[in-house]
Amino acid sequence: MARNFFLLSVIFSLASCLVHAHSHHDQLTDEEKSAPVDAILWIHIVLQALVWGLLFPAGMVLGITRSRWHVPLQSTGFALTLAGYVLGHKHKGRMFLKSVHGTYANILFIPIFAQLALGIYLKLHIHEKSIRPYMVRLHGVIGKAYPIFGWVQMVFGCATFRGYCRGGHLGQCLAHYIMGGGFIAYGIIMALLLLVGEAWVRRSGRSPEWWDSWVIMLWVSILNTFTEHHGGDWSAKDMQHTILGVLWWCGGALGIFLARNNQRNVVPGLIIILTGWGMSEHAQALMISTKVHTMFGYTLMLAGFTRIIEICFFSNHTNSEAPEEDDNNSEHTIAAQSPRFSTGSVSLSESSQTSAAKVFRHLPPFRCFLTVTRLLFMSATDEEVQFVHDSEMDHVTYILIMFSLSFLLYTLIVWMIHLYTISGRNAPDAKNDSSDSMEMASGMRTKWYSRVPSAEASNHIIGDEEDD
């Protein structure tokens, strides 16, 4: 069955190369710009969003956990992606100018075909001790980059659909989208570290604020310090954005120094609060834009406060007292296995505090509030708020829409983390490698999907698979 999935993907790949795409235009008439969106284009949008936003990330997680569902899921994703590509070039109705979305779609065929070829190669189990180990690593690197590829393309798609980020608006789009997307990615990394990677954090000998401060000082400060002013006279906005970059340079350096020797500190939280205050006072041309920026600032300030509360009142229950244990179980076993509870009894107050710490860790900026604030930030470009203003939508409705999307996005993030803890080798009933090999040798794997055996596999197993 797995082979059939691969063959299906290859067929779709070859078919897509024969598709004669409709031409994109350098100029469009008003009628072409305002034409209704037909059903084919809506199917393309929904299909690609589901594949790149849900199917491929889930398949990536299953690949990390060595789940048997990884190959079928990714193969299905390849086939649906190529089908969506065809639909995206066969729609009628509204036309679009040449855009980075269309160009990037063609570039995505490089990792798609590379991943497909690597997957087939790895299933053959050849060159086991020479080439294959390097191909395994390359396959993993490309696979882990798929969520990034999908996120970037979806952002490009939204901008293309609305005709945003052209002409003088490009710089603002880059500032909002790059910084917002970068912080969402960093929030996902921090969620991974604090929800399933506590043991790794402890083994690294670095406090979470050490990592936070480095990102603040390098990534964020570089973006704001050097990308906001584009020559000419300095506007008030240019000065505000640039001085925020300077704030992050200075505060990040202080946070790194205070975090030496695995020490916790509140500097990242203070930087977030000051940044939120600055954004809340960031006056805009439209009243609705000012209100969106104000809400963004307030939410960011709240994120900073929750981060400080977590460090000052909950950090002892989430890091320093937790024992060296498997990353996959650290979220659920801190209270029961901590040296404090070595007698086997757990007091009600201690258990409640530990439970509160687990719940509270979702609030600080590198989880839920980070997702909320960055989506608000990404949705606050001049063109977006102008569209909202022209639609006679008030700021309350618009902000609540962004909060709703942030909840969905964070749900997806924590579900992927949960999938990691329950699938493949991390499943509660998963067997060790030796028992897995015995199971394979005894033919106990389901027949609809089985690995291609290695050269050391027994001859009767090969014969069984050929019969299937």
Compute the distance between CA of residue 401 and CA of residue 391 in angstroms, rounded to an integer: 14
pLDDT for 458 equals: 42
Compute the distance between CA of residue 171 and CA of residue 57 in angstroms, rounded to an integer: 30
CA terminus-to-terminus distance, the chain: 9
Residue with tokens 């890091």: 319
Compute the distance between CA of residue 78 and CA of residue 9 in angstroms, rounded to an integer: 6
pLDDT for 118 equals: 93
pLDDT for 406 equals: 87
Q: Which of 76, 70, 68, 69 is nearest to 51 (CA)?
A: 76
Compute the distance between CA of residue 443 and CA of residue 273 in angstroms, rounded to an integer: 59
Handedness of CA 178, 180, 186, 192 (dihedral sign): negative
Residue 311's contacts (CB-CB under 8 Å, 6 or more residues apart) are 209, 264, 265, 266, 269
In angstroms and rounded to an integer, the radius of gyration of the C-alpha atoms of the chain is 25
Residue 193 CA to chain centroid, in angstroms? 14
pLDDT for 231 equals: 65
**pLDDT per residue as tens, the chain (468 positions):** 445 444 445 544 544 444 444 555 566 676 766 788 899 999 999 999 999 999 999 999 999 999 999 999 999 999 999 999 999 888 888 888 888 999 999 999 999 999 999 999 998 989 988 999 999 999 999 999 999 999 999 999 999 998 898 877 887 788 788 777 777 776 777 777 767 777 777 777 888 888 888 888 887 666 666 666 566 777 777 787 778 888 888 899 999 999 988 888 899 889 889 988 988 887 777 888 888 888 888 888 888 888 888 888 876 544 444 444 444 443 333 333 333 333 344 454 556 666 666 666 666 645 556 677 778 888 888 889 888 888 889 889 999 998 898 888 888 988 998 999 899 998 887 655 544 444 444 444 443 333 444 444 444 444 444 444
Compute the distance between CA of residue 109 and CA of residue 402 in angstroms, rounded to an integer: 31
pLDDT for 328 equals: 41
Q: Which of 113, 108, 92 is nearest to 52 (CA)?
A: 108
pLDDT for 289 equals: 84
Beta carbons of 212 and 258 less than 8 angstroms apart: no
Number of C-alpha atoms within 13 angstroms, CB side, residue 260? 4
Beta carbons of 309 and 347 less than 8 angstroms apart: no
258: number of Cβ within 10 Å: 17
26: number of Cβ within 10 Å: 6
Q: What is the 3-state secondary structure (H, E, C) of the chain?
A: CHHHHHHHHHHHHHHHHCCCCCCCECCCCHHHHHCCECHHHHHHHHHHHHHHHHHHHHHHHHHHCCCCCHHHHHHHHHHHHHHHHHHHCCCCECCCECCHHHHHHHHCHHHHHHHHHHHHHHHHCCCCCCCHHHHHHHHHHHHHHHHHHHHHHHHHHHHHHHCCCCHHHHHHHHHHHHHHHHHHHHHHHHHHHHHCCHHHHHHHCCCHHHHHHHHHHHHHHHHHHHHCCCCCCCCHHHHHHHHHHHHHHHHHHHHHHHCHHHCCCCHHHHHHHHHHHHHHCCCCCCHHHHHHHHHHHHHHHHHHHHHHHHHHHHHHHHHHCCCCCCHHHHHHHHHHHCHHHCCCCCCHHHHHHHHHHHHHCCCCCCCHHHHHHHHHHHCCCHHHHHHHHHCCCCHHHHHHHHHHHHHHHHHHHHHHHHHHHHCHHHCCCCCCHHHHHHHHHCCCCCCCCCCCCCCCCCHHHHHHHHHC
Residue with tokens 């996120």: 151
Locate 5 and state its tokens: 């999935």
Q: Any bridge partners for residue 25, and if so which?
A: 97
pLDDT for 327 equals: 42
Compute the distance between CA of residue 312 and CA of residue 315 in angstroms, rounded to an integer: 7
Compute the distance between CA of residue 27 and CA of residue 30 in angstroms, rounded to an integer: 10
Residue 25 sits at φ, ψ, to 5 deg, of -120, 150
pLDDT for 258 equals: 93
Q: Which of 259, 238, 275, 290 is nearest to 370 (CA)?
A: 275
Distances in whole angstroms, Cα of residue 285 to Cα of each of 231, 381, 382: 21, 11, 9
Q: Which of 275, 280, 223 is nearest to 251 (CA)?
A: 275
Threshold 0.75, pTM exceeds? no
